[in-house]
Structure 1
């Protein structure tokens, strides 16, 4: 019995030593990002990037061309006309959303058919699956740099309401969206998935949305939008340069694993899990 106890203790010590060595050898999320090769990054196309200019600075947003092409087309048209110039971010709900556009005014913008879900005849392969059975869908992960979810067959795919998600507001009618956009600024309201079209995400500048005046403020004009245009409308020298880690890359796969089980010595316990909405895609501006 004593010999067995000694053997068990030694085995435990060896296993712990191996685990410690493995943890020490693993790269941290920061190290993975810093060491990612050039081919694991992509530059955001200027024709897909919205530049929302607020009094405190710019918010850069990428539109999802694969899942929501009609919304991409609508925002392209509106941005080209400077539709949002001098309108406002008229709705702010703490920890929820910031919404902008013409508000209750008649905009003469035709309604748009919803794109809640992308339907495909065959399974649409995700770049990476982060969660199986995430509570709101059969699976969730990333596609083209966007957090998405799917049905079990992979024939229905939609962008999720993670923080920074860019969506099109609507009324009670399903196809009632026109031009009123919103950005999720707080905890992910995933219960809205498949009820509203999410057509993009914030790349940079969330701090400017968080600094908007709250309801009840006497400041005038109230959260004025200086303008919102496509990056491609700006002179070449003024177009923001934004690169995003490819979500189909080895670096991003390694980053997901490092976020599930943080290798830094500070962490005593690791869950071997990360919520898809907590998995931020590394983004670098000006590089």
Structure 2
């Protein structure tokens, strides 16, 4: 398992940098995008096709195809729901279902609008305890860094926010506290719809965030992935007029024609993506640049950034 790095926080990131940030008149600094573009191949981590969900929607009004690609969370996070999602995809359960809810500045949700479609056999009932991943503190005097495998020796400070401490690990933004880690709700995060507790959802009803990060959902709903390509096909949909943004008119629902795991597509070559290693020096430099913009457009560096404003770079890999 790759290392979890304490390279950033929600409000403070590389807090030694403000003094450097004041010297913007005497030096030029690359933009975050330029830093990412200069990252060596060794700092990029391949996403296995089996960890991708490929959702094809019905073509738009102009006949253009609409494909949304989701990366599933790595172990140890949300694995009970993800096992269910893999079974649902293998059973082609989502084929013929639809996008049913589009709530402005909040979420887009999809699944079976009738709530009558039979689920595949063998789905797990996942306990609420699985919203958290219990991990062992590496140091009783430094109990704000956790990992189940060798941990990074990064020493950058990070602080509390309203939702716990924040860091990046295994390529994902995470919250931490009380010897636990959990994935958080940033823009493009994919979660599992559910009813009232103790129901935790099967994974058949999914949503993605299309607005300001709803961090109050962290540890209350399972985050199972993030959209790495095609979110514009969801975020641009007409808003639902019913309660919570559900479509009252069934004709407004967008049909899902296919949803498959990347390695199960009929195509000759499955989609290929990679993300920037969040434990790399380049990522630390990129995160600092996002928190302290010193490139020419900016007048005053902020001195920090919300963790959801430091999206982990993900890129499509094209064949030679």
Residue 127 to residue 187, structure 1, CA distance change in 2 (3 Å) = farther
Name the SS of the counterpart of 1:200 in structure 2.
Answer: strand
Q: Distance in 2 between matches of 1:81 and 1:104?
A: 18
Which residue matches 2:71? 62
- 8 Å contact kept, 1:29–1:258: yes
Which residue matches 2:97? 87
How far apart are residue 42 of structure 1 and its match?
Answer: 1.4
- 8 Å contact kept, 2:105–2:210: yes
Name the SS of the counterpart of 1:19 in structure 2.
Answer: coil
Q: TM-score, normalised by structure 1?
A: 0.85
- 8 Å contact kept, 1:168–1:181: yes
Which residue matches 2:163? 136
Which residue matches 1:5? none
More RCO (CA 8 Å, sep 6+): 2
Residue 126 to residue 119, structure 1, CA distance change in 2 (3 Å) = farther
How far apart are residue 185 of structure 1 and its match?
Answer: 0.8
Q: Distance in 1 between matches of 2:197 and 2:57?
A: 30
Q: Distance in 2 between matches of 1:267 and 1:34?
A: 20
- Write 1 or 2 for the structure with the bigger share of helix: 1
Residue 176 to residue 274, structure 1, CA distance change in 2 (3 Å) = closer
Name the SS of the counterpart of 2:255 in structure 1.
Answer: coil
Give the alignment partner of residue 271 of structure 1, picking from 294, 302, 313.
Answer: 302
Which residue matches 2:125? 112
Give the alignment partner of residue 257 of structure 1, picking from 288, 293, 304.
Answer: 288
Which residue matches 1:198? 223
Give the alignment partner of residue 167 of structure 1, picking from 191, 216, 227.
Answer: 191
How many correspondences in the alignment? 268
- 8 Å contact kept, 2:84–2:124: no
Give the alignment partner of residue 50 of structure 1, picking from 39, 50, 53.
Answer: 53
Give CA deviations for 1:90-139 in whole Å, capped at 9, x if unaligned.
111111001111135234435631421111234225797785212211x1
Give CA deviations for 1:247-275 in whole Å, capped at 9, x if unaligned.
11111110011111112122111121011
- 8 Å contact kept, 2:81–2:124: no
Matches within 5 A, 1:213-252: 213-216=238-241, 220=251, 222-235=253-266, 237-252=268-283
Structure 2 unaligned blocks of 5 or more: 1-18, 61-65, 138-145, 242-246
Q: Distance in 1 between matches of 2:24 and 2:168?
A: 31
Q: Distance in 1 between matches of 2:26 and 2:132?
A: 41
Residue 213 to residue 133, structure 1, CA distance change in 2 (3 Å) = same
Name the SS of the counterpart of 2:187 in structure 1.
Answer: coil
Give the alignment partner of residue 184 of structure 1, picking from 201, 209, 215.
Answer: 209
Structure 1 unaligned blocks of 5 or more: 1-14
Q: TM-score, normalised by structure 2?
A: 0.77
How far apart are residue 176 of structure 1 and its match?
Answer: 3.7
Q: CA RMSD in A?
A: 2.4
Q: Distance in 2 between matches of 1:254 and 1:219?
A: 48
Residue 35 to residue 101, structure 1, CA distance change in 2 (3 Å) = same
- 8 Å contact kept, 1:52–1:58: yes
